[in-house]
Chains A and B, each alone.
Chain A
Amino acid sequence: GDSVTQMEGPVTLSEEAFLTINCTYTATGYPSLFWYVQYPGEGLQLLLKATKADDKGSNKGFEATYRKETTSFHLEKGSVQVSDSAVYFCALSISGGSNYKLTFGKGTLLTVNP
Protein backbone atom coordinates (compact mmCIF):
# COMPACT_ATOMS: atom_id res chain seq x y z
CA GLY A 1 0.00 0.00 0.00
CA ASP A 2 0.88 3.67 -0.10
CA SER A 3 3.02 5.01 2.72
CA VAL A 4 5.01 8.03 3.81
CA THR A 5 8.09 7.94 6.00
CA GLN A 6 9.40 11.13 7.49
CA MET A 7 12.22 11.97 9.75
CA GLU A 8 11.42 11.45 13.39
CA GLY A 9 11.68 14.34 15.71
CA PRO A 10 11.73 16.30 17.69
CA VAL A 11 14.00 18.72 15.87
CA THR A 12 15.34 21.66 17.84
CA LEU A 13 17.10 24.52 16.07
CA SER A 14 18.29 28.00 16.85
CA GLU A 15 16.76 30.94 15.02
CA GLU A 16 18.27 31.50 11.55
CA ALA A 17 19.51 27.90 11.29
CA PHE A 18 18.96 25.80 8.15
CA LEU A 19 16.14 23.26 8.27
CA THR A 20 15.74 19.96 6.47
CA ILE A 21 13.00 17.46 7.23
CA ASN A 22 13.32 14.29 5.19
CA CYS A 23 10.32 12.60 3.59
CA THR A 24 10.22 9.51 1.39
CA TYR A 25 7.22 7.70 -0.01
CA THR A 26 6.02 4.50 -1.61
CA ALA A 27 3.03 4.63 -3.89
CA THR A 28 1.24 2.29 -6.26
CA GLY A 29 0.19 5.11 -8.55
CA TYR A 30 1.51 8.53 -9.47
CA PRO A 31 1.14 10.69 -6.37
CA SER A 32 0.77 14.35 -5.62
CA LEU A 33 2.88 15.33 -2.64
CA PHE A 34 2.14 17.77 0.16
CA TRP A 35 3.59 19.31 3.27
CA TYR A 36 1.09 20.33 5.93
CA VAL A 37 1.89 22.35 9.06
CA GLN A 38 0.08 22.22 12.39
CA TYR A 39 0.65 25.08 14.81
CA PRO A 40 -0.03 24.43 18.51
CA GLY A 41 -3.73 23.93 19.22
CA GLU A 42 -4.77 24.30 15.58
CA GLY A 43 -5.77 22.15 12.63
CA LEU A 44 -3.55 21.32 9.69
CA GLN A 45 -2.79 23.90 7.01
CA LEU A 46 -1.41 23.19 3.58
CA LEU A 47 2.14 24.57 3.40
CA LEU A 48 3.14 23.56 -0.12
CA LYS A 49 2.52 20.95 -2.77
CA ALA A 50 3.96 19.40 -5.94
CA THR A 51 2.01 17.39 -8.47
CA LYS A 52 4.65 15.97 -10.82
CA ALA A 53 8.28 14.95 -10.91
CA ASP A 54 10.82 17.78 -10.57
CA ASP A 55 8.15 20.26 -9.48
CA LYS A 56 9.24 22.53 -6.64
CA GLY A 57 6.64 23.65 -4.16
CA SER A 58 7.37 26.77 -2.14
CA ASN A 59 5.66 28.96 0.43
CA LYS A 60 6.72 31.22 3.32
CA GLY A 61 10.41 30.49 2.62
CA PHE A 62 9.90 26.71 2.69
CA GLU A 63 10.69 24.60 -0.37
CA ALA A 64 10.40 20.96 -1.39
CA THR A 65 11.21 19.27 -4.70
CA TYR A 66 9.40 16.19 -6.00
CA ARG A 67 12.16 13.66 -6.75
CA LYS A 68 10.73 10.64 -8.49
CA GLU A 69 14.08 8.87 -8.82
CA THR A 70 14.60 8.87 -5.06
CA THR A 71 10.87 8.90 -4.15
CA SER A 72 11.53 11.87 -1.89
CA PHE A 73 10.01 15.25 -1.03
CA HIS A 74 12.31 16.80 1.57
CA LEU A 75 11.27 20.07 3.22
CA GLU A 76 13.88 22.84 3.51
CA LYS A 77 14.10 26.37 4.80
CA GLY A 78 17.22 28.48 4.75
CA SER A 79 16.64 30.47 7.93
CA VAL A 80 14.03 29.37 10.46
CA GLN A 81 12.19 31.68 12.83
CA VAL A 82 10.66 31.09 16.24
CA SER A 83 7.25 31.37 14.57
CA ASP A 84 8.04 28.26 12.48
CA SER A 85 7.77 26.08 15.59
CA ALA A 86 5.08 23.54 14.71
CA VAL A 87 4.48 19.94 13.64
CA TYR A 88 5.15 19.25 9.96
CA PHE A 89 3.44 16.42 8.08
CA CYS A 90 4.42 15.01 4.71
CA ALA A 91 1.53 13.47 2.78
CA LEU A 92 0.61 11.98 -0.56
CA SER A 93 -2.53 11.58 -2.59
CA ILE A 94 -2.91 9.41 -5.64
CA SER A 95 -4.22 11.26 -8.67
CA GLY A 96 -7.25 9.46 -9.99
CA GLY A 97 -7.41 7.18 -6.97
CA SER A 98 -10.77 5.82 -5.98
CA ASN A 99 -11.08 7.58 -2.66
CA TYR A 100 -8.77 10.58 -2.98
CA LYS A 101 -7.53 10.14 0.55
CA LEU A 102 -4.36 11.62 1.96
CA THR A 103 -1.76 9.28 3.42
CA PHE A 104 0.27 11.04 6.11
CA GLY A 105 3.65 10.56 7.68
CA LYS A 106 3.78 10.53 11.47
CA GLY A 107 4.78 14.17 11.75
CA THR A 108 7.94 15.96 12.85
CA LEU A 109 7.89 18.41 15.74
CA LEU A 110 10.10 21.44 15.11
CA THR A 111 11.06 23.78 17.93
CA VAL A 112 12.98 26.94 17.11
CA ASN A 113 14.69 28.73 19.98
CA PRO A 114 15.53 32.45 19.98
Chain B
Amino acid sequence: DAGVIQSPRHEVTEMGQEVTLRCKPISGHDYLFWYRQTMMRGLELLIYFNNNVPIDDSGMPEDRFSAKMPNASFSTLKIQPSEPRDSAVYFCASSRGLLLREQFFGPGTRLTVL
Protein backbone atom coordinates (compact mmCIF):
# COMPACT_ATOMS: atom_id res chain seq x y z
CA ASP B 1 0.00 0.00 0.00
CA ALA B 2 1.16 3.52 -0.74
CA GLY B 3 1.92 5.62 2.28
CA VAL B 4 1.03 9.26 2.79
CA ILE B 5 2.11 11.24 -0.24
CA GLN B 6 3.21 14.85 -0.06
CA SER B 7 4.22 17.24 -2.78
CA PRO B 8 6.41 19.00 -3.43
CA ARG B 9 9.28 17.55 -1.39
CA HIS B 10 11.13 20.85 -1.51
CA GLU B 11 9.85 24.35 -2.15
CA VAL B 12 11.86 27.52 -2.38
CA THR B 13 9.97 30.75 -2.80
CA GLU B 14 10.32 34.44 -2.22
CA MET B 15 8.67 36.41 0.52
CA GLY B 16 5.19 37.49 -0.42
CA GLN B 17 4.50 34.60 -2.76
CA GLU B 18 1.71 32.10 -2.32
CA VAL B 19 2.71 28.57 -1.37
CA THR B 20 0.52 25.49 -1.66
CA LEU B 21 1.48 22.17 -0.09
CA ARG B 22 -0.38 19.01 -1.03
CA CYS B 23 -1.15 15.77 0.73
CA LYS B 24 -2.76 12.48 -0.20
CA PRO B 25 -3.59 10.40 2.88
CA ILE B 26 -3.60 6.63 3.05
CA SER B 27 -6.75 5.20 1.54
CA GLY B 28 -9.35 4.41 4.18
CA HIS B 29 -7.92 6.79 6.77
CA ASP B 30 -10.45 9.26 8.08
CA TYR B 31 -8.16 11.57 10.04
CA LEU B 32 -5.66 13.93 8.43
CA PHE B 33 -3.15 16.10 10.26
CA TRP B 34 -0.86 18.94 9.23
CA TYR B 35 2.28 19.57 11.31
CA ARG B 36 5.10 22.07 11.13
CA GLN B 37 8.59 21.21 12.36
CA THR B 38 11.27 23.77 13.23
CA MET B 39 14.38 23.62 15.35
CA MET B 40 13.03 26.22 17.73
CA ARG B 41 9.49 24.97 18.23
CA GLY B 42 9.75 21.29 17.44
CA LEU B 43 6.77 19.48 15.94
CA GLU B 44 3.59 21.55 16.09
CA LEU B 45 0.10 20.47 15.10
CA LEU B 46 -1.42 23.08 12.81
CA ILE B 47 -4.81 21.62 11.98
CA TYR B 48 -6.55 18.30 11.64
CA PHE B 49 -9.57 16.95 9.82
CA ASN B 50 -11.97 14.12 10.47
CA ASN B 51 -13.97 12.90 7.48
CA ASN B 52 -12.87 15.98 5.55
CA VAL B 53 -14.17 18.37 8.22
CA PRO B 54 -11.72 20.59 10.11
CA ILE B 55 -11.85 19.67 13.80
CA ASP B 56 -9.22 21.86 15.38
CA ASP B 57 -7.34 24.67 13.69
CA SER B 58 -6.10 26.35 16.85
CA GLY B 59 -2.52 25.61 15.84
CA MET B 60 -2.70 27.60 12.63
CA PRO B 61 -0.35 30.50 13.32
CA GLU B 62 -2.27 33.28 11.63
CA ASP B 63 -4.69 34.14 8.88
CA ARG B 64 -2.02 33.73 6.24
CA PHE B 65 -2.38 29.99 6.72
CA SER B 66 -5.36 28.05 5.43
CA ALA B 67 -6.08 24.36 4.90
CA LYS B 68 -8.72 22.51 2.94
CA MET B 69 -9.76 18.94 2.44
CA PRO B 70 -12.17 18.82 -0.51
CA ASN B 71 -12.37 15.03 -0.46
CA ALA B 72 -11.10 12.01 1.41
CA SER B 73 -8.00 11.66 -0.73
CA PHE B 74 -6.63 15.18 -0.93
CA SER B 75 -5.73 18.09 1.30
CA THR B 76 -3.88 21.37 0.82
CA LEU B 77 -2.11 23.76 3.14
CA LYS B 78 -1.76 27.24 1.74
CA ILE B 79 0.35 30.13 2.92
CA GLN B 80 -0.43 33.52 1.47
CA PRO B 81 1.61 35.66 1.59
CA SER B 82 4.62 33.66 2.71
CA GLU B 83 7.25 35.07 5.07
CA PRO B 84 10.81 33.92 5.90
CA ARG B 85 9.65 32.77 9.36
CA ASP B 86 7.41 30.22 7.64
CA SER B 87 10.50 28.29 6.59
CA ALA B 88 10.13 24.81 8.08
CA VAL B 89 9.38 21.21 7.26
CA TYR B 90 5.65 20.61 6.90
CA PHE B 91 4.35 17.11 7.52
CA CYS B 92 1.04 15.57 6.66
CA ALA B 93 -0.11 12.50 8.59
CA SER B 94 -3.19 10.31 8.50
CA SER B 95 -4.80 7.76 10.78
CA ARG B 96 -7.76 5.42 10.78
CA GLY B 97 -10.27 6.15 13.48
CA LEU B 98 -9.49 6.63 17.11
CA LEU B 99 -9.02 3.00 18.04
CA LEU B 100 -5.26 2.84 17.76
CA ARG B 101 -4.50 6.51 17.13
CA GLU B 102 -1.33 5.63 15.27
CA GLN B 103 -0.50 8.32 12.77
CA PHE B 104 1.33 7.59 9.53
CA PHE B 105 3.48 10.43 8.32
CA GLY B 106 4.36 11.59 4.85
CA PRO B 107 7.95 12.42 3.90
CA GLY B 108 7.42 16.12 4.56
CA THR B 109 7.86 19.25 2.47
CA ARG B 110 10.86 21.42 3.21
CA LEU B 111 9.80 25.01 2.64
CA THR B 112 12.32 27.81 2.33
CA VAL B 113 11.05 31.37 2.06
CA LEU B 114 13.73 33.83 0.99
Q: Do A and B bind each other?
A: no
Residues of A within 8 A of B (CB): none
